[in-house]
């Protein structure tokens, strides 16, 4: 496809709130598309919504990053608006400037449905980015989703998949592959990159703080401490490896299971709970570890894997993580295990203990993969492709 001149084109992106891993994509996109405008429903996410009960179970977190710099944006404050006020606000924005296309992240809020209806009413192409690929929940919930999502997708012009599992998910709804633009989900790796000497210093400092010998093996968990994340599995894996006396486990994060996990680990040695670390602090823990473990029951992607890879840290993830077999390639930059199969996970760690150089090889491959294919510029390019397809059809 011949690329059009986008200098005078306008794309409006509507998102829930400023998010640490989307802001770099918006900045990269603004360089390609001066007519980009981002509209946030609010300055923060409303975690009390029934479909995101997890979000409200942890303290508000400061990731220590500039989230609203480098691109044109507005915060609309729709949380305090009723349905018709939201409708009027969005319609005023769209009719006043008539963007060539609209991009939305998700379908789970009233605002998404209003924008979907207005795009159809005003004949503005709609681009959809989703972060799901599963059929979780009760039978009742699945039936509701089947009706609602089918109806929602009928009026979407272009889709962007964040990985292969999402691509397959769209197809399961009958979406033609020609309407789907593949993208590689990402964080900004630049903030995680350290030179060899800096990396070694970070590794030594964290290990010294925690009294971990420099040559011992460290497993790392990073995330919110909820049931879905299955942090208890990491303690079980640790128990299975206890006979080696050189395996340490770092559980970085906070959440409703924090105190329970600490109590369960009282009889275990070499388990540490540093608490929540923002993105400026967390990289030191990545460099201090030998492998990231993601034992989650489900992850739409698992962006901690991207962060770890940028630090040259391989990952061991469950098969239900979106990044499994997409970003994480078994025996190349990490490994994959079935949810809850702690024996299988521990066997992978045993292999790394027996072959100490293997984790370093996987780590080198991990950093190479993320830097070559999973950066904000790559994701911005995919948005541009979908945008080009959408407006080309409308001409």
Question: What whole-number distance in Å separates Cα of residue 48 and Cα of residue 46?
Answer: 5
CA 382 to chain centre: 16
Percentage of the chain beyond pLDDT 90 is 78
**pLDDT higher than 90, residue 61:** no
Note the pLDDT of residue 357: 93
The two beta strands, 247-252 and 217-222, are: parallel
Cβ contact 314:366 at 8 Å: yes
Identify the H or E element spanning 230: none
Give the integer Cα–Cα distance in Å for 332 and 344: 17
**Cβ–Cβ under 8 Å, residues 236 and 296:** no
Q: What average pLDDT score do residues 184-200 get?
A: 94
The answer, yes or no, to whether residue 50 has pLDDT greater than 50, is no
Give the pLDDT of residue 269: 92
The span from the CA of 340 to the CA of 346, in Å, is 11
Q: In what order do the strands lie in the sheet with 291-294?
A: 271-272, 247-252, 217-222, 291-294, 315-318, 334-337
pLDDT tens digit sequence for 63-87: 556 788 999 999 999 999 999 999 9
Tens of pLDDT along 12-31? 999 999 998 999 999 999 99
Residue 101 — pLDDT band, cuts 50, 70, 90? very high
Q: Report, at the CATH architecture level, how domain 190-373 is classified.
A: 3-Layer(aba) Sandwich (3.40)
Upper half-sphere CA count for residue 85 (Cβ side, 13 Å): 8
- Assign 136 to helix, strand or coil: coil
Q: What is the pLDDT of residues 358-378, one digit of tens each?
A: 999 999 999 999 999 999 999
Assigned token pair, 106: 């998700």
- pLDDT above 70 (res 47): no
pLDDT of residue 331: 95
- 300 pLDDT above the threshold of 50: yes
Give the pLDDT score at 147: 73
Asked if 161 and 181 count as a contact pair (C-beta separation under 8 A), the reply is yes
How many residues are there in the chain? 395
The domain ranges of the chain are 11-186+375-394, 190-373
Given CATH 1.20.1090.10, say whether it is the number of domain 11-186+375-394: no
Give the pLDDT confidence score for residue 288 in this predicted structure. Answer: 97
User: Is it true that 11-186+375-394 and 190-373 share their CATH fold?
Assistant: yes
* Phi, psi angles (nearest 5°) of residue 57: -95, 5
Measured over the CA atoms of residue 74, residue 75, residue 76 and residue 78, the dihedral's sign is positive
CB-based contact 130:389 (threshold 8 Å): no
Task: For 316-352, write each residue's pLDDT tens digit.
Answer: 999 999 999 899 999 999 999 999 999 999 999 999 9
Residue 49 CA to residue 46 CA, distance in Å, equals 6
Q: Is the pLDDT of residue 231 over 80?
A: yes
* Residue bearing the bigger pLDDT, 49 or 326: 326
Helix residue spans in the chain (DSSP H): 23-32, 83-97, 110-121, 139-153, 164-172, 196-209, 231-240, 258-264, 279-288, 303-310, 342-354, 356-373, 376-394
Residue 131 confidence (pLDDT): 81
pTM as predicted = 0.90
Among residues 258, 293, 294, the alpha carbon closest in space to that of 274 is found at 258
* CA 126 to the chain's CA centroid: 22
* pLDDT reading at 254 higher than 70: yes
Tell whether the model's pLDDT for residue 46 goes beyond 50: yes
pLDDT above 70: percentage of residues in the chain? 89
**pLDDT at residue number 393:** 74
* Average pLDDT of the chain, as a whole number: 90
Mean pLDDT of 42-68: 60
Q: How many angstroms from the chain centroid is the CA of residue 82?
A: 30
Sign of CA dihedral 366, 371, 376, 381: negative
Residue 53 has pLDDT above 80, yes or no: no
pLDDT top residue among 61 and 193 = 193
Report CA dihedral (90, 93, 98, 102) to the nearest 10 degrees. Answer: -50
Q: What is the pLDDT of residues 104-140, one digit of tens each?
A: 999 989 999 999 999 999 999 999 998 876 655 556 6
Answer whether residue 144 shows pLDDT above 70.
Answer: no
CA–CA distances in Å: residue 392 to residues 2, 127, 161, 172: 10, 13, 20, 26
**Among 45-49, 301-305, 376-380, which is the least confidently predicted range?**
45-49
């Amino acid at each position: 496809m011949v690329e059009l001149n986008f200098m005078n084109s306008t794309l409006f992106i509507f998102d829930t709130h400023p998010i640490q891993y989307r802001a770099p994509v918006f900045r990269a996109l603004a360089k390609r598309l001066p007519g980009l405008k981002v509209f946030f429903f609010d300055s923060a996410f409303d975690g009390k919504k029934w479909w995101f009960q997890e979000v409200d179970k942890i303290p508000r977190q400061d990731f220590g990053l500039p989230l609203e710099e480098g691109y044109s944006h507005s915060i609309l404050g729709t949380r305090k608006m009723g349905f018709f006020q939201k409708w009027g606000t969005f319609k005023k924005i769209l009719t006043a400037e008539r963007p060539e296309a609209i991009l939305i992240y998700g379908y789970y809020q009233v605002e998404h449905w209003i924008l979907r209806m207005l795009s159809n009413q005003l004949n503005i192409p709609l681009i959809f980015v989703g972060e799901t690929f599963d059929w979780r929940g009760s039978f009742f919930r699945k039936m509701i989703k089947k009706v609602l999502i089918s109806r929602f997708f009928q009026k979407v012009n272009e889709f962007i998949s964040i990985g292969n599992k999402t691509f397959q998910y769209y197809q399961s709804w009958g979406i033609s592959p020609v309407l789907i633009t593949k993208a590689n989900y990402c964080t900004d790796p630049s903030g995680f990159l350290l030179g060899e000497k800096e990396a070694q210093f970070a590794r030594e400092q964290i290990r010294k703080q925690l009294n971990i010998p420099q040559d011992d093996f460290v497993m790392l968990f990073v995330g919110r401490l909820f049931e879905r994340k299955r942090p208890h599995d990491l303690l079980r894996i640790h128990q299975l490896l206890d006979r080696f006396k050189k395996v340490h486990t770092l559980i970085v994060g906070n959440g409703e299971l924090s105190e329970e996990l600490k109590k369960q680990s009282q009889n275990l040695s070499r388990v540490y709970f540093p608490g929540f670390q923002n993105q400026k602090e967390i990289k030191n823990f990545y460099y201090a570890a030998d492998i990231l473990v993601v034992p989650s029951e489900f992850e739409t992607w698992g962006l901690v894997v991207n962060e770890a890879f940028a630090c040259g840290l391989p990952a061991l993830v469950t098969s239900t993580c979106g990044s499994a077999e997409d970003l994480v390639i078994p025996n190349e930059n990490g490994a994959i295990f079935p949810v809850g199969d702690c024996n299988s996970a521990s066997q992978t760690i045993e292999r790394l203990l027996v072959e100490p150089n293997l984790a370093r090889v996987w780590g080198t491959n991990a950093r190479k993969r993320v830097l070559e294919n999973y950066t904000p510029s790559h994701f911005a390019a995919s948005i541009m492709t979908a945008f080009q397809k959408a407006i080309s059809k409308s001409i």
